[in-house]
């Protein structure tokens, strides 16, 4: 359903460092990537330049994408748009920016999965959310997805597993703390003492995934949501 086609207009929402954008651009799609983090947009631009991809990256908000109505053929988000606080606004934007027949795909961590456990563990280290903010894990509930999007999209919702495997807990932490966006951002904004507390708590949390041979294996449950805009 989401094999990029040459010339298709793709929007990567909460694009991060640009992994999905690069895959689409490499297949010939015309790609725009939007993320709320200026630092990640800078990283994405540098990567695109090094790879020779013409990707239109810019800072922006999933709740107000500031692009014309019906200006994209495909909208995607890899565990990104779920972190925008106003879920209803995100849903409105998804319908607004896609052409009729346009395709949607995004992934969302489930509340009952290991990332759900992690996000709850991180809660005490995070600032309080704004009043009325939705929680990211709500997008990992099929009924919530349908409540937000079914009026504008024909949807398919699949439960899947993403396996993370590293040679050791140390290797896992080194990779996860620098590449899992919500954790990386939180670590960067904590005072040194609190940062050390968070690392200790996270390491304790992940020791349950250590294998007898020292490897760390984490099977992460998520929803893959795909749809076609009516």
Q: Does any domain span residue 42?
A: yes
Domain membership of residue 90 as a residue range? 9-110+129-161+221-229
Tell me how far apart the alpha carbons of residues 51 and 126 are, in angstroms, rounded to a whole number.
35
Residue 133's pLDDT is: 82
Q: Does any domain span residue 69?
A: yes
Residue 87 parent element (H or E): helix 87-97
Q: What is the CATH number of the domain that holds 57?
A: 3.40.50.150
Tell me how far apart the alpha carbons of residues 72 and 66 are, in angstroms, rounded to a whole number.
12
**Could you say which DSSP state residue 3 is in?**
-
pTM, entire model: 0.91
Indicate the number of domains in the chain: 1
Q: Does any domain span residue 186?
A: no
Q: By the 8 A CB rule, do 227 and 153 touch?
A: yes
Q: Does any domain span residue 48?
A: yes
Q: Does any domain span residue 101?
A: yes
Q: Does any domain span residue 171?
A: no
Mean per-residue pLDDT of the chain: 95
Q: Does any domain span residue 167?
A: no
Cβ-Cβ contacts under 8 Å for 191 (sequence gap 6 or more): none
Q: Does any domain span residue 28?
A: yes
pLDDT profile of the chain (230 residues), mean per 10 = 91 96 98 94 96 98 97 97 96 98 98 94 88 90 97 97 96 89 86 96 95 97 98
């Amino acid at each position: 359903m989401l094999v990029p086609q040459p010339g298709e207009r793709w929007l990567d929402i909460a694009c991060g460092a640009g992994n999905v954008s690069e895959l689409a651009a490499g297949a010939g799609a015309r790609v725009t990537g939007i993320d709320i983090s200026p630092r990640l947009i800078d990283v994405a631009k540098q990567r695109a330049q090094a790879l020779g991809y013409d990707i239109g990256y810019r800072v922006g908000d999933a709740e107000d994408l500031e692009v014309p109505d019906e200006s994209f053929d495909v909208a995607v988000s890899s565990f990104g748009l779920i972190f925008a606080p106003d879920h209803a606004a995100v849903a409105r934007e998804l319908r607004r920016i896609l052409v009729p027949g346009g395709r949607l795909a995004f992934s969302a961590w489930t509340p009952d999965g290991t990332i759900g456990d992690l996000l709850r563990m991180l809660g005490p280290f995070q600032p309080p959310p704004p009043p009325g903010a939705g929680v990211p894990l709500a997008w990992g509930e099929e009924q919530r997805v349908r409540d937000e999007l079914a009026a504008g999209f024909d949807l398919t919702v699949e439960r899947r597993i993403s396996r993370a495997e590293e040679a050791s807990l140390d290797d896992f932490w080194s990779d996860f703390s620098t590449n899992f966006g919500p954790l990386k951002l939180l670590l960067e904004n904590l005072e040194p003492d609190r940062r050390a507390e968070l690392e200790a708590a996270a390491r304790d949390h992940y020791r349950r995934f250590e294998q007898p041979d020292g490897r760390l294996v984490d099977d992460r449950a998520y929803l893959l949501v795909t749809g076609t805009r009516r």
